[in-house]
Amino acid sequence: MNNTYLSYNNIVSSLGFDSPTVIEKIRNGESGLKLVADTSIFPTPFCSSLINTERLENKFANLGNIEEYTRLEQMLIISLEATLKASKIKLTDRVGLIISTTKGNIDTLDPSHPMPEERAYLGTLGHIVKSYFGFKTEPIVLSNACVSGLLAISVAKRFIAQGTFDHVFIVGGDVVTPFILSGFNSFQALSPQPCKPYCKQRSGINIGEVAASVLVTKEKENLAPEAVAILGEGTCNDANHISGPSRTGEGLYRSIGSAFKEAGVSAVDIDYISAHGTATIFNDEMEAITLNRLQLEKTPLNSLKGYFGHTLGASGLLETIVGMHSLYNNTLYSTLGFSELGVSQPINVITKSTPKKLAIFLKTASGFGGCNTAAVFKKVTP
Amino acid sequence: MKRQLLKIKAYASIANNRVSLNDGIVFSEEKNDLSAFLKQAYKSLDTNYSKFFKMDALSKLGFLAADIILKSTQKEPDLERNTALVFSNSASSLDTDRKHQKSIQDKDNYFPSPAVFVYTLPNICLGEISIKHKLYSENSFFIFNHINTGYLFDYANNLILSNKADEVLCGWVNCDGEDYEAFVYLVSTEGTIPHTKEEILKLYNIK
Amino acid sequence: MSELKQELKEKIITQLNLEDIAIEEIADNDPLFGDGLGLDSIDALELIVMLDKDYGIKLTDPKEGKKIFESIEIMAAYISEHRSK
């Protein structure tokens, strides 16, 4: 069977505008989360990881842009520009584009936004990115709640396997908006402090903003040094509830099973798990139950939500990219915010950056609508 | 190869005040607003699922269209089926997004509703179908400006060829104010209509 | 009090979209969640919004809601004691 690889990549975030810078800060345990008191976004102070607007706009102006783009478009374009450039791939009809987002330019629905509300159509967002770079194929926008970023990798791999494309560029992102904050707040899911995944004191999520991009390719030549092969992946629904995670973790259990089956691996082959870990009571508990059902409770695991918050449509992609670098650097990164295990079943939470020889990692994500995605990645040995 | 053998086993649509299953109309109603029309369709089709009333319009549309296909192709009621759900549209969940936005616009009357907010994701519709039909299967929701039969065709083929699903319920389910349409079709190894891009487009256009 | 109970039943039916349930079918002591009316976690959150919007009662702890929303009887008693509108 032919492998598909994740190669060149970029992260635009509060911790930096390229992957190595961001990874270095994660290694040092630096969080992008801060208390934000800005009543134009939310009536009360909230904890978030926001990209510095001035820095974003300067960077975008440096690309030589004169037309007007939204905040999210600027983030996506800056990230994808870097990945495209590094890959040196020519945009032909064999190159696909996937945009992973939950809400896109949802901020333009606000009448006070300078752009027309038509900008909120996700297809429009796809075409803006497509035209900016001159992609020759129709953009594929994936909006599948909080698994979007990881599922986008599956989707890219599937289209490559089916012969639709040879290469696919994925760019994912969402912005922190009153729309999102008010909604999660109505769910009483927001933590006013930096989130504490899997911790006894956890009290909910923080929302953050990131754009991340990666090249998915079938060509083993010219890969980035940190490239990984996608061994297997799967997405399964809980068939249980549209907002609450399944108590037994059925969908996640089946997703991991589906990914393992395709990858031809079992629990003992996994060196580390990059989990979802939103720091809500129910999500983290559900994950612990699932991992125990799969005998993965001793495998080192992290959640990166303590660095960036939950970055929605970007999160699965962002965390996969960090996982790639984790393998490349042979280092396990810690779960920031965690101090004392607060789930009913044992799991092996990574609490400090630790050197370890790594080859294979499992990435998981779960979201509203009962969706769950899992994927297994393996280091490419040169 | 399995690829050549794939078929469209059944298809359904909801548009222009009509609900159709394969080549027959199963419900139609004179001019009516979307919400009233969907409620009458629900009753007439003997859906009997009270959670339906809590759904937003996009979910109701997708749910009803999927429900008539899944019921008509069900072999044994309790047998778990591995049917993937692959939906697409152009307006995502914007219809409900606008409602949520309205609820946070006026700072003196600021009461965002969790029951509205939860539907501000298009894939919730897939979740609703999964819950009713106990589908622990693959879900994907794509947004295109227009139905993209090429992508749907390749993606459904891959899900079956890679053994991730036995069947794939594909569709275009869009709701944007009073503009609405749902068109879903079941890709399978059984059936009489060949699974080709041309056939998908043909069936979509006759709704 | 009985007026408030009637009002609550009407509100629950319309705001939680319980279209196939009539006011007469809800008894004052019927459990609202689980086997009773079959409300779920989103409905509970929706009721918290309703308390705030219509009666000026702010609940910050979802666990508190669990006790208050046990039945129409308990809800009505809590509202008449704590309402500010």
When comparing pLDDT for B127 and C65, which is higher? B127
pLDDT band at A79, cuts 50/70/90? very high
Q: pLDDT over 90 for what percent of chain A?
A: 97
Interchain contact C75–A (C-beta under 8 A) = no
Reading the block at residue A193, the tokens are: 């402090």
Question: What does the pLDDT look like over A222-234, one tens digit per residue?
Answer: 999 999 999 999 9
What is the Cα–Cα distance from A310 to B160, expressed in whole angstroms? Answer: 33
User: Of the candidates A106, A141, A369, which has its C-beta nearest B143's C-beta?
Assistant: A141
Whole-number pLDDT of residue B77: 80
pLDDT of residue B75: 86
Higher per-residue pLDDT: C17 or B1: C17
Residues in chain C with CB shorter than 8 Å from the CB of B50 are 18-20
Strands A371-379, A228-237: pairing is: antiparallel
Chain B contact partners (≥3 CB pairs within 8 A):
A, C
The proportion of chain B whose per-residue pLDDT surpasses 70, expressed as a percent, equals: 98
Compute chain C's Rg from CA coordinates. Answer: 12
Residue B200 in this model has a pLDDT that exceeds 80: yes
pLDDT of residue B109: 87
CA A304 vs. chain centroid, Å, equals: 10
Whether the CB-CB separation of C28 and C73 falls below 8 Å is answered with yes
CA distance, residue B68 to nearest chain C CA (Å) = 21
* B2, pLDDT greater than 80: no
Q: Which residues have C-beta within 8 Å of that of residue B205, sequence separation ≥ 6?
A: none
| CA atoms in the 13 A half-sphere facing the CB of A146 | 28
Distance CA B171, CA B186 (A): 9
Please, where are the H alpha helices in chain C?
Answer: 2-15, 41-55, 62-68, 72-82
Q: What type of residue is A301?
A: L
pLDDT interval class at A2 (50, 70, 90):
confident
**Helices within chain B (DSSP H only):** 2-5, 34-44, 57-72, 94-105, 114-117, 124-133, 149-161, 197-205
Tokens coding A344: 């009913």
**pLDDT the model gives residue A1:** 56
* Domains along chain A with CATH numbers: 5-217 (3.40.47.10), 229-379 (3.40.47.10)
Q: What is the CA radius of gyration of chain A?
A: 19
Q: What is the pLDDT of residue A65?
A: 78
Q: CA–CA separation, B21 vs B184, rounded Å?
A: 10
Please give the C-alpha separations between residue B178 and each of A155, A248, B31, B95, B96, in angstroms, as whole numbers: 32, 40, 12, 9, 12
Tokens representing A77?
């374009």
Q: Is C22 on the interface with B (CB under 8 A)?
A: no
Chain A nearest-CA distance from C33, in A, is: 15
Nearest to A244 among C41, C60, C62 (CB): C41
State how far the Cα of B111 lies from the Cα of C51, in Å rounded to an integer. 11
Separation CA A313–CA A365 (nearest Å): 11
> In the prediction, which pLDDT does A382 show?
57
Query: Which of A247, A208, A199, A223 lies closest to A343 in space, CA to CA?
Result: A199
Q: Which residue of B has its CA nearest to C19?
A: B53
Better pLDDT: C85 or B204: B204
The residues, ordered by sequence, that sit 6+ positions from A276 with a Cβ below 8 Å of its Cβ are A146, A283, A287, A303, A315, A364, A365, A366
Q: How far apart are CA A98 and CA A123, in angstroms?
A: 11
**Mean pLDDT within B48-65:** 96
The SS3 of residue B5 is helix
Radius of gyration of chain B (CA): 17
Confidence at residue B4, expressed as pLDDT on a 0 to 100 scale: 62
A283: left (phi over 0), alpha (psi -120 to 50) or beta: alpha
Residues of A in contact with C52 (CB under 8 A): none
Q: Are A5 and A380 in contact (CB under 8 A)?
A: yes
Q: Which residues of B touch C18 (CB under 8 A)?
A: 50, 53
Angle between helices C2-15 and C41-55 (to 10 degrees): 130
Whole-angstrom distance, CA of residue A276 vs CA of residue A291? 12
Closest residue in chain C to residue A240, using alpha carbons only: C40
Check whether B3 has a pLDDT greater than 60: no
Q: Residues A335, A339, A343, CA angle at the centre, nearest 5°?
A: 85
Q: How far apart are CA A358 and CA A363, in angstroms?
A: 14
Tokens coding A27 = 């290694």
Backbone angles phi, psi at A268, to 5 degrees: -65, -20
Q: Across chain A, what does the average pLDDT equal?
A: 97
Q: What is the pLDDT of residue C35?
A: 76
B76 versus A332: the higher-pLDDT residue is A332
Mean pLDDT computed over B118-142: 98
CA separation, residue A53 to residues A59, A209, A210, B114 (Å) = 10, 12, 13, 30
Q: End-to-end distance of chain A based on CA atoms, in angstroms?
A: 19
Instruction: Provide, as residue numbers in chain C, all residues whose Cβ is less than 8 Å from the Cβ of A241.
Output: 40-41
Inter-chain CB proximity C49 and B118 less than 8 Å: no
**Which region among A59-73, B59-73, C36-50, C59-73 has the lowest average model confidence (pLDDT)?**
C59-73
